[in-house]
Amino acid sequence: MKIFIAATLGSLGFGLMFGNRGIKLLFSALGGSVCWGVYLLAGHFGAVGFLQVLIAALAAALYAEIMARALKAPATVFSLIAAMPLVPGSSLYRTMDAVLSADREAALRFGIYTVTDAAAIAVGIVAVSLIFKYASRMYRLAKRTAK
């Protein structure tokens, strides 16, 4: 339970920093909790590394697209903040520490982990965004041809 509160409060802080207010702030912070819950659930079912982060990023982006339509706001208002708990901050820190300590092996190991996590977040958000954009276009096209 504490980890969900931490994910929510962390997302809330970033939501405030990005200028979200009111109901959008509440739902963007809740997105961080949802994202972290999916991350933990994916890990429970055996997903690790790239796949675990990808599944959570897909969930965060899906949540963001749904909230964007429900609250009539851009999806980025929700997706960036919802995915915030996935950002590989500790591995980035360890990468930089290893680089500054001239430990090439550790720098490479942590660097690969950092890049794959960042790539999984990007792929998840972009994939859902493209699906929603394509579905929206198809809906508008079908609506026009029905007239």
Per-residue pLDDT of the chain in tens (147 residues, 90 and over written 9): 788 888 888 999 999 998 888 999 999 999 999 999 999 999 999 988 899 999 999 999 999 999 999 999 999 889 999 999 999 888 999 999 999 999 999 999 999 999 999 999 999 999 999 999 999 899 888 888 876
List, in order, residues 6 or more apart from 86 with CB less than 8 Å away: 35, 36, 39, 53, 56, 57, 60, 117, 120, 121
Query: Considering only CA atoms, which of 2, 120, 128 is closest in space to residue 66?
Result: 128
Nearest to 109 by CA among 91, 121, 124: 91
- Whole-number Å distance between alpha carbons of 114 and 94: 9
Q: For position 147, what pLDDT does the model report?
A: 67
Q: How many angstroms separate the CA atoms of 35 and 136, rounded?
A: 24
Query: Over the stretch 96-117, which tens digit does the pLDDT of each residue have?
Result: 999 999 999 999 999 999 999 9
Q: Which helix (H) or strand (E) holds 5?
A: helix 2-17
Range 19-53 burial, b when 16+ CB lie within 10 A, else e = ebeeebbebbbbbbbbbbbbbeebbeeebeeeebb
Structural domain spans, the chain: 2-146
Q: How far apart are CA 55 and CA 46, in angstroms?
A: 12
Q: What is the pTM of this model?
A: 0.88
